[in-house]
Amino acid sequence: MTRLTGRALRVTIFVGENDCWHHKPLYSEIVHRAHQAGLAGASVFRGVEGFGASSLIHTSRILSLSEDLPVAIVIVDTEERVRDFLPQLDELVAEGLVMLDDCEVIRYVGRDKDTDKSRDRKK
């Protein structure tokens, strides 16, 4: 069970949906590496519209359907753990934007499988 409360660091990585790492989606590789590194959590969010360094607008609107929508990967953990993870992002992200923000975590509690099973039985 992971508990993280108080001061933390949020890293947000903006890449394209079609960006790959060894024939695998880049966002998936980042999430799996964050998991392997034992970080508290990571989530991927698919954008509906955006542009970056290329100045091309990517959108999900029907009339101008894009195949490369913006994707944001958000990871939150202690500053030390996030900073230890940054060299992996240097290796993975060739084009994109990595932002670091101080934040405060109110509560993060991971559930173990036994707790989830007992909840399911009570329903």
Q: Is residue 115 part of a domain?
A: yes
Q: Is residue 104 part of a domain?
A: yes
Q: Residue range 97-110: average pLDDT? A: 85
pLDDT at position 78: 93
Listed in sequence order, the residues at least 6 apart from 49 whose beta carbon sits closer than 8 Å to its beta carbon are 57, 58, 59, 60, 61, 69, 70
In which domain, by residue range, is 78 found?
6-122
Q: Give the position of tokens 């202690």.
A: 78
Q: Is residue 18 part of a domain?
A: yes
**Residue closest to 16 by CA, chosen among 65, 39, 49:** 49
User: Can you give the pTM of this predicted structure?
Assistant: 0.77
Q: Is residue 113 part of a domain?
A: yes
Are the C-beta atoms of residues 74 and 12 closer than 8 Å to each other? yes
pLDDT at position 29: 98
Domain tally for the chain?
A: 1
Q: Is residue 1 part of a domain?
A: no
The predicted-structure confidence for 52-70, as pLDDT tens digits, reads as follows 666 666 666 555 555 678 8
- The CATH number linked to 82 is 3.30.70.120
